[in-house]
Amino acid sequence: KAGVTQTPRYLIKTRGQQVTLSCSPISGHRSVSWYQQTPGQGLQFLFEYFSETQRNKGNFPGRFSGRQFSNSRSEMNVSTLELGDSALYLCASSYPTDTQYFGPGTRLTVL
């Protein structure tokens, strides 16, 4: 089975722009979760989608949003980028298994 894939792997944006990241879960998995990793805050939960519905949300501003499609692929969007949004963004897929499997991540740099 193919693993979780994320595109793009690297991204450079400037402040004020917006960005869309994509995640394709393991075939058959229906839950996709997103996490942000920064040196200062560590790994933090952003949100989780299941069957095209957001089921959980972390403590992030409304500039961070996401969606899930009927094939379980998910996208997350960050609008009005700030320098502090520079991070590694990881997505994970799961269900029906409880184990979460992570993708390789998208490294976003905001200049």
Partner 1 sequence: GIQVEQSPPDLILQEGANSTLRCNFSDSVNNLQWFHQNPWGQLINLFYIPSGTKQNGRLSATTVATERYSLLYISSSQTTDSGVYFCAVVPYSGGSNYKLTFGKGTLLTVNP
Question: 79 or 88: whose CB is closer to partner 1?
Answer: 88
Binding site for partner 1 (CB under 8 A): 31, 33, 35, 37, 42-45, 48, 50, 55-56, 58, 88, 90, 92, 94-95, 98-105, 107
Least distance from partner 1 to the Cβ atom of residue 56, Å: 5
Nearest to 86 by CA among 17, 33, 7: 17
Q: Min. distance of Cβ 17 from partner 1 in angstroms? A: 22
